[in-house]
Structure 1
Amino acid sequence: MQFIPKAGASLTTKNVLSGAGRIKWMTREESRAPADNGWRIFSGIDTAGYLADTANLQIVDYNRLCEIEPALIGIWDFPVGTDLQLVDDDGIKILDNESGKQIPPENFYVPPGHRA
């Protein structure tokens, strides 16, 4: 399914892809290849040891991650250096890890086909 045209690819963990762990942490780094959009997506159960083993990481289309967690659609165009977490307590919220503040809905990306 394509939510975002030409969204590119992201690095994520097999815990995210298998459903073993729910998406929790999202960071955006400088792109390392033309198809790389810079997003790094991790689950809440990923440990430092798990992440140290590159066999636990996989490059996937960002739209595939949006299928798993639609909240990722809204953060797609956030800048390099973004460090966020997804919190699900009385509804899904996305928090900026640096400030601890919730990202307001008006800051979220809206795909072209859904703009007013």
Structure 2
Amino acid sequence: MAAKDTKFKIPAEEIKDLIPPMGACLATDRITVDGAKVGYMYREEADDEGDSGWRFFSGDETQEYAGDPSNWAAYEVNTICNYDPAIIPYLGSEAGTAFGRIEGTDLFEGEELEEG
């Protein structure tokens, strides 16, 4: 789904179907270009019918980096699962939840997002 001319860490032809289709998500280039693992993820209410609500970060993006739309792109959630399969067990979580990776593991701790 990414429209920009970017060199991705995993070529499109190597993306495997790991989960059933669940819609689009947003992820930073730290994951898809640099190959960083997902360090923080949250699910918000979907923007539209094709949006899963998931947003993925490596966790080390600065505010300036995350605020620059050129560092983001929309992908099928399955694509991000190929970059970091550790997220798969958490994908059924409801909107309004967030997860941070427990350092040095493939486990995440969850929390409810504050409204506002």
* TM-score normalized with structure 2 length: 0.76
Q: SS state of the match for residue 86, structure 2?
A: helix
* TM-score normalized with structure 1 length: 0.76
The residue aligned with 1:53 is 68
Instruction: Give me the whole-angstrom Cα distance separating, in 1, the residues matched to 2:24 and 2:43.
Output: 12
Give unpaired runs (5+ residues) of structure 1: 99-116
The residue aligned with 1:23 is 38
The sequence identity of aligned pairs, in percent, is 30
Give the 4+ runs in structure 1 shifted more than 2 A. 19-22
Q: Which moved more, 1:57-66 or 1:13-22?
A: 13-22
Instruction: Give me the whole-angstrom Cα distance separating, in 1, the residues matched to 2:88 and 2:107.
Output: 13
Q: SS state of the match for residue 92, structure 1?
A: coil
Contact 1:11 1:41 (C-alpha < 8 Å) held by counterparts: yes
Deviation at 1:3, TM superposition (A): 1.8
Bigger fraction of residues in helix: 1
Residues 43-82 of structure 1 mapped to structure 2, 5 A cutoff: 43-82=58-97
User: What is the identity, as a one-letter code, of the residue corresponding to 2:48?
Assistant: A
Give unpaired runs (5+ residues) of structure 2: 1-15
